[in-house]
């Protein structure tokens, strides 16, 4: 009897392992660089410019490949088709909507109580929905924000009038404009660049840009005790926490001001008083502070990079400026203020914005995703807890997808009549600057509205020229300053009022 049981057990085991082995060997093995034992590919790239290495590897290994750092598995997605398969088709869309565990998510965003660094659960879904609705339709909808943006653009125009023809670094003006619109969105008021809140927001943004990079995160996640040592980065992390508290204190103070102007803050504070079906507070003080941090960080550097890049690119293209000015004169005229309704008739301006976003690809690796369970992408098996790297830099600069990808050519988004290609056109669909699917950017409409109104106002009133007595470098995406969001290097230009250039 024992022999009989042993015999059949052996047969069953053999069959089981043969089937497993056959399944495993029939799986396609993901290509990718081998790396070193334990550390993986850690020493094969500069941590702040990982996107350059991934671009190089994608040429060798294809649209999907894997690599390891400290035994953690990363899968890089390098074409718009593979990204769609991973992010927009179920069940992958749900599986890949998780975020990896990060030091920043845990320590800076109070154990993932924000939106951007947290993985989905029912509370997160409610938080994201709330934030999305507030940004998209705050007050009377975008028209309320539009009114405020236009008000600020009047002071920008005034400033430009004073600067007429002088060499100027436009970053101060652009930063003030963006921070003002964020203050209006969040708290309904702004005291301008000398106001305490704007100074605090600016400081917070630059601290986060200097610290929240994947390289620093890998090291601090592995050795979290480093945050207690007097290292430069650890001190910056401490400073972030202090500055965040200062931001909250200021917002609380400002929210008590006797004014009718309200912002996201006021609504969210009301939501904090609500209870869910179990009688529990579903939106806590930590959720509030970290949502505000998300908006301040995601809403500043991304838009700063886009507007400053656009100004530099235009300064080098007088022909393009002329065409933009003709479009704006035709649609808006010289006297009426540009408004959001003009967007649909300003085809070239829209193409310039889209091409700027593609060309600079300044959020090169989007935000990292992770798999919440094992799945298959592109025919390859991907394990649970794999970090997914949406390689937007490569998708936007691949020769397979673009003609002359490192050239700034807004006309690639226009048809033969000069009309903007529809958003479902395959060429438009390859631009994924705001991500897509369950984790796509919640600030896209807000960001694009600000950028369009800025561009239209500038082109209506001025021509951007190279500086006097100095040269202006071409904006080359590969030479942008690294950070959470790549930024153009400092530069100077001249704004010259069009009225001064018109023949008398």
Q: Which residues bind ligand HEM (CB under 6 A)?
A: 115-116, 128, 135, 294-295, 298-299, 302-303, 306, 363, 366-367, 390, 433-435, 439-443, 446-447
Question: What SS3 class is residue 138?
Answer: coil
Instruction: State which residue, 220 or 452, has the beta carbon closest to ligand HEM.
Output: 452
Minimum Å gap between C-beta 189 and ligand HEM is: 17
Least distance (Å) between residue 341 CB and ligand HEM: 20
**For residues 206 and 466, which CB has a smaller minimum distance to ligand HEM in the complex?**
206
For residue 332, how far is the Cα from the chain centroid?
30
Toward ligand HEM, which CB reaches closer, 101 or 233? 101
Nearest-angstrom CA–CA distance, 41 and 273: 48
**Beta carbon of residue 296, minimum distance to ligand HEM (angstroms, whole number):** 8
**End-to-end CA gap in the chain:** 111
> Cβ of residue 110: shortest distance to ligand HEM, in angstroms?
16
> Which residues partner with 28 through β-bridges?
380
**Neighbour count for residue 60 (Cβ, 10 Å):** 10
Question: Measured between alpha carbons, how far is 454 from 452 in angstroms, rounded to an integer?
Answer: 5
Instruction: Give the nearest residue (CB) to ligand HEM.
Output: 443
- For ligand HEM, which is the closer residue by CB, 205 or 492? 205
What interhelical angle do 232-255 and 214-222 show, nearest 10? 100
Write the DSSP symbol of residue 66. E
Minimal CA–CA distance to 351: which of 330, 327, 329? 327
- For ligand HEM, give the closer residue by CB, 67 or 434: 434
Q: Return the number of the residue (386 or 463) whose C-beta is nearest ligand HEM.
A: 386
Q: What distance in Å separates the CA atoms of residue 16 and residue 340, rounded to the nearest whole number?
A: 64
- Closest contact distance (angstroms) between CB of 352 and ligand HEM is 14
Q: Which one, 153 or 433, has the nearer CB to ligand HEM? A: 433
CB 70 within 8 A of CB 219: no
Smallest distance from ligand HEM to CB 135, Å: 6
Nearer Cβ to ligand HEM (84/498): 84
- Smallest distance from ligand HEM to CB 299, Å: 3
Least separation in angstroms between residue 242's CB and ligand HEM is 23
From the CB of 121, what's the least distance to ligand HEM, in Å? 13
**Which residue lies nearer to ligand HEM by CB, 186 or 496?**
186
Residue closer to ligand HEM (CB basis): 95 or 433: 433
Look at residues 255, 450, 487 and name the one whose alpha carbon lies nearest to residue 339: 450
Q: How many CB atoms lie within 10 A of CB 409?
A: 16
Residue 326, CB-side half-sphere exposure with 13 Å CA sphere? 7
Helices (H), 142-278: 142-163, 171-187, 196-211, 214-222, 232-255, 264-271
Q: Give the rounded distance of the alpha carbon of 297 from its chain centre.
A: 10
Q: Which is nearer to ligand HEM, 221 or 302 (CB)?
A: 302
Query: Which of 399, 344, 388, 340 is CA-nearest to residue 365?
Result: 388
- Give least dist CB 303 to ligand HEM, A: 5
Provide the pairing of β-strand 387-390 with 72-77.
parallel
Pairwise CA distance, residues 48 & 205, whole Å? 17
| CA–CA dist 234, 102 (Å, integer) | 15
CB of 162 to ligand HEM, least distance (A): 28
Please give the Cα distance from 120 to 110 (Å, whole number): 16
CA distances from 158 to 151, 453, 493, 497 (A): 11, 16, 17, 11
């Amino acid at each position: 009897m024992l022999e009989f049981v042993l015999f059949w057990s052996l047969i069953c085991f053999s069959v089981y392992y043969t089937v497993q082995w056959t399944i495993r060997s029939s799986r396609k093995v993901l290509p990718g660089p081998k790396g070193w034992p334990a550390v993986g590919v850690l020493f094969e790239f500069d941590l702040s410019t990982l996107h350059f290495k991934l671009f190089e590897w994608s040429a060798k290994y294809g649209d999907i490949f894997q690599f390891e750092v400290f035994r953690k598995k990363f899968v890089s997605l390098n074409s718009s088709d593979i990204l769609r398969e991973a992010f927009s088709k179920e069940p992958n869309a749900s599986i890949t909507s998780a975020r990896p565990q990060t030091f920043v998510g845990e320590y800076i965003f109070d154990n993932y109580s924000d939106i951007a660094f947290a993985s989905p659960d029912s509370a997160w879904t409610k938080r994201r929905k709330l934030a999305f609705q507030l940004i998209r339709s705050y007050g009377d909808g975008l028209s309320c924000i539009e009114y405020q943006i236009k008000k600020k653009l009047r002071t920008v125009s005034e400033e430009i009038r004073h600067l007429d023809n002088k060499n100027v670094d436009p970053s101060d003006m652009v930063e003030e404009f963006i921070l003002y619109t964020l203050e209006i969105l969040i708290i309904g008021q702004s005291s301008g660049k000398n106001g305490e809140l704007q100074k605090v927001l600016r400081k917070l943004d630059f601290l986060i840009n200097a610290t929240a990079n994947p390289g620093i995160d890998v090291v601090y996640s592995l050795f979290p005790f480093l945050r207690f040592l007097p290292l430069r980065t650890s001190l910056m992390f401490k400073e972030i926490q202090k500055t965040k508290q200062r931001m909250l204190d200021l917002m609380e103070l400002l929210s008590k001001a006797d004014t009718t102007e309200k912002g996201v803050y006021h609504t969210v504070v009301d939501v904090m008083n609500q209870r869910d079906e179990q009688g529990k507070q579903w939106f806590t003080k930590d959720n509030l502070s970290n949502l505000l941090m998300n908006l301040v960080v995601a809403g500043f550097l991304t838009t700063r990079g886009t507007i400053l890049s656009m100004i530099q690119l235009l300064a080098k293209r007088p022909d393009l400026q002329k065409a933009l000015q003709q479009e704006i004169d035709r649609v808006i005229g010289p006297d009426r203020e540009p408004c959001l309704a003009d967007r649909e008739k300003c085809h070239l301006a829209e193409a310039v914005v889209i091409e700027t976003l593609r060309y600079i690809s300044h959020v090169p690796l989007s935000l990292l995703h992770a798999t919440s369970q094992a799945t298959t992408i592109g025919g390859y098996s991907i394990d649970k807890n794999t970090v997914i790297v949406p390689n937007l830099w490569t998708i936007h600069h691949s020769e397979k997808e673009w003609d002359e990808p490192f050239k700034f050519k807004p006309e690639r988004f226009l048809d033969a009549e000069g009309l903007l290609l529809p958003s479902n056109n395959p060429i438009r669909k390859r631009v994924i600057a705001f991500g897509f699917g369950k984790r796509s950017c919640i600030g896209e409409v807000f960001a694009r509205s600000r950028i369009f109104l800025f561009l239209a106002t500038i082109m209506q009133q001025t021509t951007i020229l190279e500086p006097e007595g100095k040269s202006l470098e071409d904006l080359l995406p590969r030479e942008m300053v690294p950070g959470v969001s790549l930024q153009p290097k400092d530069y100077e230009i001249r704004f010259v009022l069009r009225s001064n250039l018109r023949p008398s």
